[in-house]
Amino acid sequence: MTLQDLIAFAGRHLMLSLGLAGLTLALIVTEVMRLMQGWKTLKPAQLTGLMNHDNALVIDLRPINDFQAGHIAGSRNVQMSQFDPENKQLAGAKDLPVVLVCKTGQTAGSAAGRLAKAGFGKVYVLDGGIGGWIGADLPLVKGR
């Protein structure tokens, strides 16, 4: 197929060609925004490595009842309504990896953005949230 064939196809199928161009542009914009957000996602296995080797701080943003029903060992519970990147307890963690966990991974993204803007250099969100952790068949701890 030559370039002339592609141009002729695009001319004959204008709506299809515009749709393809629009989808391609949307994918590019989404990827650029993801790269510029200041934080990354982690798979559950990657989180265990960070916890074991890099002393990662894991912050669980779920409601206290959900946290007490089952959470990642060593994680700290902070309610999203009380989440503050300028908190004195977090000040010492600016150089540590900080991993945010919520139910599905959506709420943690906004908190991760706030940490990145506050100068935290290693900010992560658990991919899939606690559901991703459970889906990877990893253990949870009950209680506080």
User: What is the domain partition of the chain in residue ranges?
Assistant: 3-35, 40-135
Percentage above 90 pLDDT, the chain: 47
- More confident position, 91 or 83: 83
What is the full DSSP assignment across 20-69? HHHHHHHHHHHHHHHHTSS-EEE-HHHHHHHHHHS--EEEE-S-HHHHHH
Q: Quickly name the fold that domain 40-135 has.
A: Oxidized Rhodanese; domain 1 (3.40.250)
Active site residue 102: yes
- The residue from 56, 102, 112, 123 that is catalytic is 102
- More confident position, 26 or 105: 26
* DSSP-derived 3-state class of residue 13: coil
The per-residue pLDDT for 43 is 94
Mean pLDDT within 2-6:
89
Residues 14-63 pLDDT 10s: 999 899 989 988 888 877 766 667 789 999 999 999 999 988 999 999 99
Provide the whole-model pTM: 0.75
Residues 113-128 pLDDT 10s: 888 888 888 999 999 9
